[in-house]
A and B are shown apart, each in its own frame.
Chain A
């Protein structure tokens, strides 16, 4: 049973470009969570999505960041016009159902470097 998959594992973008990070949850999981890990810090919650719905985006920066989880395909975290401060590791997690939201399985992360 494949775990949570994220791609790319490493992404380099110049300032002003767009970054698209993909997350495929574990098979059968319909709940996805995105977290950001800045250097020397713990993970910080960004957004919680179910299929076609954003449930909680309280941790998302107000501008340039967006997330989606379409009916078909992976969840996408999109960062427009990246800046150096966006350099971080972005982790995706998934859970089976809302009652099991504490049982989150993490992917390997995407490490974004903005030059």
Chain B
């Protein structure tokens, strides 16, 4: 089954430091890829998406992700973490079968 793997269930960064969240997908056919953010007790908010256009995708709140077919990766980065970035982040993949398949999530904590 097609799937997506997020490396690291918890990431802790200092305020102002680089945020790097890793996501790898399993398929020889490039899918559509997404990053979502979930704040406590809230729904999912779309950060950014890759739909086979530019491989470097810019999203909201200063986040961006790069699609690398050779590495089957779609890692999420933000150059400078802010306290408000503390949340859970989900990578998801879409293979044209109506459903999104989500990774297990990465919880980000930001240290002052």
B70 interfacial contact with A, CB 8 Å: no
| Chain A contacts for B94, CB-based, 8 A | 101-102
Question: A56 is contacted by which of B42, B51, B98, B102 (Cβ under 8 Å)?
Answer: B98
A85 interfacial contact with B, CB 8 Å: no
Question: B51 is contacted by which of A45, A59, A102, A106 (Cβ under 8 Å)?
Answer: A102
How many residues belonging to A are interface residues under a CB distance threshold of 8 Å?
A: 25
Report B's interface with A, CB cutoff 8 A. 32, 34, 36, 41-46, 49, 51, 90, 92, 94, 96-105
Distance in angstroms from B106 CB to nearest chain A CB is: 10
Q: Within the assembled complex, what's the spacing in Å between the Cα atoms of A33 and B44? A: 14
| Chain B contacts for A4, CB-based, 8 A | 43
Report A's interface with B, CB cutoff 8 A. 4, 33, 35, 40-45, 48, 55-56, 59, 91, 93, 98, 101-102, 104-109, 111
Distance in angstroms from A110 CB to nearest chain B CB is: 10
Q: Within the assembled complex, what's the spacing in Å between the Cα atoms of A101 and B101? A: 13
| Chain A contacts for B41, CB-based, 8 A | 111
Do the beta carbons of B98 and A101 come within 8 Å of each other?
A: yes
